[in-house]
Chains A and B, each alone.
Chain A
Amino acid sequence: QVQLVESGGGVMQPGRSLRLSCEASGFAFNYNGMHWVRQIPGKGLEWVAVIWYDGSDKYYADSVKGRFTISRDNSKNTLYLQMDSLRVEDTAVYYCARGNCDSNYVMDVWGQGTAVTVSS
């Protein structure tokens, strides 16, 4: 079945780096744009970044621009989020989500999330 599985979360000190991965299965990964969305526990959702199906375009939320990099390896059906210069306020559960083929802003499949804690 269609599935997204995130990994790579953990506890990091401010200023350090972390890379999240999202492995996709059950669909043609190279046909869909992909998103990262985060959620502070007990709070709402915040869109983080999107990457086009072929990696040709990428966009970021202002809160992470210049620090986070979204990428993908279509040969491995895997999406990545490189998180540099981590801040305490980056603490959240990070979800990857599939962009709908017809309406790319629509997130029609979600992973279960991976937790990132930034603390000294």
Chain B
Amino acid sequence: EIVLTQSPAILSLSPGERATLSCRASQISTNYLAWYQQRPGQAPRLLIYDASKRATGIPARFSATGSGTDFTLTISSLEPEDFAVYYCQQRANWFALTFGGGTKVE
């Protein structure tokens, strides 16, 4: 089973600043990697899939890159509504979809 490690656990920033979130896989992963945002009291929301493709309706300030074991989500300029928890998720095979532990942007 591939383990996804997200860092940092907490990212303290101000509106307008750039956020860089990391997701590292314990072994080489496919590019079947997604990022989700979860605001307090809400269900998760899809941001990015296939490592770098923005989901429908997601603002351009959200971008992502990566391959192999290292993946990155970048928020170019934080808006107040972006302060939330972010999870990466991968599909290495159908027997184990896994999520990272999350990064809280505060």
Answer yes or no: A1 CB below 8 A from chain B CBs: no
* A45 to B42 CA separation, bound complex (whole angstroms): 13
Say whether A44 contacts B94, CB under 8 Å: no
Contacts A110-B45, A112-B43 given; indicate if A105 touches B99 (C-beta within 8 A): no
Contacts A44-B101, A59-B94 given; indicate if A111 touches B43 (C-beta within 8 A): yes
**What is the interface size of chain B, counting residues whose CB is below 8 A from a CB of the partner?**
26
Interface residues of A in 50-68 (CB under 8 A from B): 50, 57, 59, 61-62
**What is the interface size of chain A, counting residues whose CB is below 8 A from a CB of the partner?**
23
Q: How far is the CB of A22 from chain B (nearest CB, A)?
A: 12
Say whether B50 contacts A103, CB under 8 Å: yes
Say whether A106 contacts B34, CB under 8 Å: yes
Answer yes or no: B98 CB below 8 A from chain A CBs: yes
Q: How far is the CB of B23 from chain A (nearest CB, A)?
A: 13
Answer yes or no: B2 CB below 8 A from chain A CBs: no
Residues of B within 8 A of A (CB): 32, 34, 36, 38, 42-46, 49-50, 55-56, 87, 89-91, 94-102
* A92 to B44 CA separation, bound complex (whole angstroms): 15
* A61 to B91 CA separation, bound complex (whole angstroms): 12
**B97's contact among A47, A57, A100, by CB below 8 Å, is which?**
A47
Say whether A47 contacts B98, CB under 8 Å: yes
Q: In the complex, which residues of chain B have a beta carbon less than 8 angstroms from the beta carbon of A61? A: 96-97
Say whether B97 contacts A50, CB under 8 Å: yes
Q: How far is the CB of A44 from chain B (nearest CB, A)?
A: 5
Q: Give the 5 A-B residue pairs with the shortest CB-CB distance, closest first.
A: A105-B91, A110-B43, A47-B97, A45-B99, A106-B49
Task: List 6 extra interface pairs beyond A103-B32, A106-B49, CB under 8 A.
Answer: A45-B38, A59-B95, A61-B96, A97-B44, A107-B46, A108-B56
